[in-house]
């Protein structure tokens, strides 16, 4: 099986805690690639500035993608504003992070992969529960709207007013 993507020498040469240190430095305003190269040299690594630059470009691009997802999730939550929507937005953010992590993994058989897949499986299970809950809420809202419509007709409200009430209760326009 041939691999189509190249691997950063940073990801291959460095210990995970040192990669985390680079990530923190990359996210810190004012820290240059040269600063990171010197920091790595102090830890015994020989890494070029261009290698740090390539890794940094990829890392910062991933952060930007996550920021876009986060902003979209915030927009969803601010628009709808309920707890289920917030949970769904968080689920989408986590799913994107898992997928991005999987794309960077060289070995898809280790313990880290198994842990990641178990967490992802739990996330999918919560998605199914959330969808069932949303369907149940919609069913109850429809039943409530039907009851309100019947009572409104008995009370002499016009079909237009009843339609407006139904739209507000169900969040639909017919």
- For 26-53, the pLDDT digits (tens) are 888 899 999 999 999 999 999 999 999 9
157 vs 173 pLDDT, higher one = 157
Residue 91 and residue 70 in contact, taking contact as beta carbons nearer than 8 Å: no
3-state secondary structure at position 44: coil
Overall average pLDDT of the 52-80 stretch: 75
- CA atoms within a 13 Å half-sphere pointing along the CA-CB vector of 5: 7
Write down the pLDDT at residue 5.
46
- CA atoms within a 13 Å half-sphere pointing along the CA-CB vector of 79: 9
Residue 58: band (very low, low, confident or very high) from pLDDT cuts 50, 70, 90: confident
Selection from 64, 61, 32 nearest residue 49 by Cα:
32
Cα–Cα distance between 14 and 171 in angstroms, integer? Answer: 53
Write down the pLDDT at residue 165.
67
In terms of C-beta distances under 8 Å and separation of at least 24 residues, what long-range contacts does 124-132 make, across chains too?
A: 126/87, 126/91, 127/88, 127/91, 130/84, 130/87, 130/88, 130/91
3-state secondary structure at position 129: helix
The token duo for 26 is 């990359």
Overall average pLDDT of the 114-133 stretch: 75
Kindly report, residue by residue over 3-17, the tens digit of the pLDDT.
Answer: 444 557 787 888 888
């Amino acid at each position: 099986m041939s691999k189509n993507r190249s691997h950063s020498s940073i990801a291959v040469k460095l210990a995970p805690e040192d990669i985390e240190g680079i990530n923190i430095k990359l996210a810190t305003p004012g820290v240059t690639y040269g600063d990171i190269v010197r920091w790595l040299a102090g830890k015994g690594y020989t890494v070029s500035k261009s290698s740090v630059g390539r890794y940094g470009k990829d890392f910062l691009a991933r952060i930007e993608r996550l920021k876009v997802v986060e902003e979209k999730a915030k927009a969803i939550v601010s628009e709808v504003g309920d707890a289920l929507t917030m949970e769904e937005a968080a689920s989408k953010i986590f799913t994107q992070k898992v997928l991005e992590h999987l794309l960077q993994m060289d070995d898809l058989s280790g313990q880290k992969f198994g842990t990641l897949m178990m967490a992802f499986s739990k996330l999918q299970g919560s998605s199914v529960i959330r969808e069932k809950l949303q369907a149940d809420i919609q069913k109850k809202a429809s039943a409530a709207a039907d009851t309100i419509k019947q009572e409104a007709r008995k009370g002499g409200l016009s079909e237009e007013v009843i339609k407006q009430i139904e739209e507000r209760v169900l969040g639909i326009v017919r």
